[in-house]
Structure 1
């Protein structure tokens, strides 16, 4: 045999062994497990019947329950809340604030701003309404003090800029606001913080100031609405979805035949569900803020929940930060507790990914991540939060997480197949009504 023929023969040998199956790979354990779970799936019609039960129960609960406000509660300490206000009333509030400053200066007393304290110690969780609120406690911000002169100056500048925006009846972004006086503000976090102070001072929502954040959240699925008069059909927005408008006050005429809202933490999971047209198989609206929720997404979710009367199910990472993100949607953030009545969506159901799911769905060890000491501390801190303590299911899940010291992202489910999330995991969850 010539050298060339011998090499050809050796090269062909492995191919032959593969073709006759002698070296074929055995099915992976996770593949067989995924196939086993598929067999437990009922027909879409049966799963939809289960979802409709949830939908009807949610609507019935909304109809029968009476909304409770802070004013209905006999709290031991007074609390401060803001409300949506029109342009004219916000302008009047600014004018009164500036007039008080002018009178103080003319009287020879200098001037200071009376700013509500948004410190963590001034926050209060109210279980009856399941959200964080701000106690009515203020601090003085005098111009004549070295410790507060700069912040008083920034406050005056922000008031001036907001007034100019309102006079023109336009909207600007927080970034626009920052760049109007970079040398004074120094960092956008400083102008952002004072903007929240101003909102709280004037007793209006931040949206009422016409200063908004850049677009971040997206929505896709069975929803039609108008955006400044333009009709938007969210079933025709591709896999990227429709950006949630930062000017929520210009959103109207919400229409939907969805049975629930699916709130997703991550953009990657959102795109997977959008591309698979999950909302057509199981009529729903899918929304994400791509991580930490922004104000516009929180307002939009609240609008959908309130006007469409739909139950909300949440899909977040199985780690303390996923649950923190969920809690911001539900109970509010401490930073914006003064506006929690407008920004919170109560009674969101935790669908997944939960710590108990890692073993229940046999997520491979190589797809789980070890929790750092900081992660464990965050988990233990959550266990001390009042809004967690009131939900026994949440407590059990967090205890599992802290005990096993394991976490996992939604994408860990892709180890069973890229469409496992939309084709197996979520349908099974919905079929079993497995939410907390």
Structure 2
């Protein structure tokens, strides 16, 4: 459930039981205790492992990885800790590049010297220390292709910033890393996503959390992310040709109408206006629509113009 005072999704106050003596719950109870045993071993040895490794630790009990994965969140709730505190992580997905350096397990990482591909965001956020940066903001990019364009043009040197992408729907490590950067550096976060309902849904996961990880929303959410672009109003301002705009499907329109009822949208009148424009025109656009004006239009014109004008909402 969403709590406006906290500005995030939190877990409802509800309890379930799994009895060993009950035929309907004995298997789930056995899986839960077995995973707890494996977590205990990891914590005693002070090492990390992946969710896939947990499955292979006892494939006779876990008929599929989904069974061992499912109880990890339950165990975190039982113990009252974050999921990352269980020393079990998912594969890394997010990438960071730009004006920041930190130590990872003691090794110095300079994110200005990571080529074009950037530095993979480590799943072990607790091993990141000594964060140093002269960045003025964090640019949160939805798509890896756009992130690569910005990286190749060294956009973070033109406008001192840290660039982060979760390559679509973000993983836990990327959400934790963004929150850690924002809390440590105290700089604003600007979102660059597609001008469609799913771009906003991705921003909502970063800002307010997800239902599946609601018990850990205090650590996973980064409130007050500003929507830099691409916004529906940009399509008219830039005179984007009709052939470059995409028609919204019935599912897109339904998702857009559903978002208009979400608290994280309704609390921001400017977001409501943009989303209403999208739903009423039944048009959407990808960030790559900016390529119509040139491959480097996004780094040489679009983003500089918006940043200099403070054009975010």
Q: TM-score, normalised by structure 2?
A: 0.97
What is the match of residue 394 of structure 1? 271
Q: Choose which of 231, 249, 256 in structure 2 pairs with 1:372.
A: 249
Instruction: Report the 3-state secondary structure (helix = DSSP H, G, I; strand = E; otherwise coil) of the residue aligned with 1:162.
Output: helix
Q: Secondary structure at the match of 1:412?
A: helix
Per-residue CA deviations over 1:326-384 (Å, capped at 9, x if unaligned) read 01111111111111111111111000111111122122222222111111111111111
Out of 187, 199, 205, the position equivalent to 1:328 is 205
1:356 is the counterpart of 2:224: no
Q: 2:116 is paired with a residue of what secondary structure? A: coil
Match of 2:12 among 122, 135, 144: 135
For residue 276 of structure 1, the aligned residue among 129, 132, 153 is: 153
Partner of 2:223: 346
Correspondence 1:207-226 to 2 at 5 A: 207-226=84-103
CA distance in 1: counterparts of 2:255 and 2:22, whole angstroms:
37
Whole-angstrom distance in 2 between the partners of 1:379 and 1:198: 35
Q: Output the CA distance in 2 between the equivalents of 1:190 and 1:374.
A: 31
How far apart are the structure 2 equivalents of 1:426 and 1:183?
53
Find the counterpart in structure 2 of residue 168 from structure 1. 45
Corresponding pairs, count: 313
- CA deviations 1:302-335 (Å, max 9, x no partner) are 1110111111000011111110110111111111
2:123 is equivalent to residue 241 of structure 1: no
Secondary structure at the aligned position of 1:378 is classed as: helix
How far the C-alpha of 1:183 sits from its partner, in A, is 4.2
Query: Secondary structure of the residue that 2:156 maps to in structure 1?
Result: helix
- What do you get for the CA RMSD once the two structures are aligned? 1.2
Secondary structure of the residue that 1:313 maps to in structure 2?
strand
d(CA) in 2 for partners of 1:399, 1:182: 49
Inter-CA distance 197–372: structure 2 relative to 1 (3 Å threshold): same
**Alignment match, 1:55:** none
2:163 aligned to which of 286, 304, 320? 286
Q: Which string of whole-angstrom CA distances, capped at 9 and with x for unpartnered residues, describes residues 115-167 of structure 1?
A: xxxxxxxxx21112211111221111223334323222211121111111112
Q: Identify if the C-alpha distance between structure 1 residues 184 and 355 changes in structure 2 by more than 3 Å, giving closer, same or farther.
A: farther
- Which of 1 and 2 has greater Rg? 1
Task: Output the CA distance in 2 between the equivalents of 1:356 and 1:146.
Answer: 58
Provide the rounded CA distance (Å) in 1 between the counterparts of 2:247 and 2:56. Answer: 42
Q: Secondary structure at the match of 2:270?
A: helix
Q: Confirm whether residue 185 of structure 1 aligns to residue 62 of structure 2.
A: yes
SS at match of 2:47: coil
Paired residue secondary structure (2:10): strand
Cα–Cα, structure 1 residues 186 and 402, in superposed 2: closer, same or farther, change >3 Å?
A: farther
- Return the alpha-carbon distance in structure 2 between the equivalents of residues 181 and 319 of structure 1: 43
For residues 191-239 of structure 1, the C-alpha deviation after alignment (integer angstroms, 9 at most, x for no partner) is 2221011111110101110001111111000001000000010000011
Give TM-score scaled by structure 1 length: 0.70
Equivalents in 2 of 1:175, 1:368: separation in Å? 41
Report the Cα distance in structure 1 between the residues aligned to 2:22 and 2:252, rounded to whole angstroms: 40
In 2, the alpha carbon distance for the partners of 1:189 and 1:137 equals 23
Partner of 2:189: 312
Secondary structure (helix, strand or coil) at the match of 1:220 reads: strand
CA distance in 2, matches of 1:159, 1:295: 20
Instruction: Single out whichever of 253-262 and 133-142 deviates more from structure 2.
Output: 133-142
**Distance in structure 2 (CA, Å) of the matches to 1:403 and 1:163:** 54
Q: CA offset at residue 427 of structure 1?
A: 0.7
Distance 2:23 2:291 in 1: 56
Residue of structure 1 aligned with 2:77, choices 177, 180, 200: 200
Corresponding position of 2:301:
424
Residue 189 of structure 1 deviates from its aligned partner by: 2.9
| CA distance, structure 2, for counterparts of residue 191 and residue 348 of structure 1 | 34
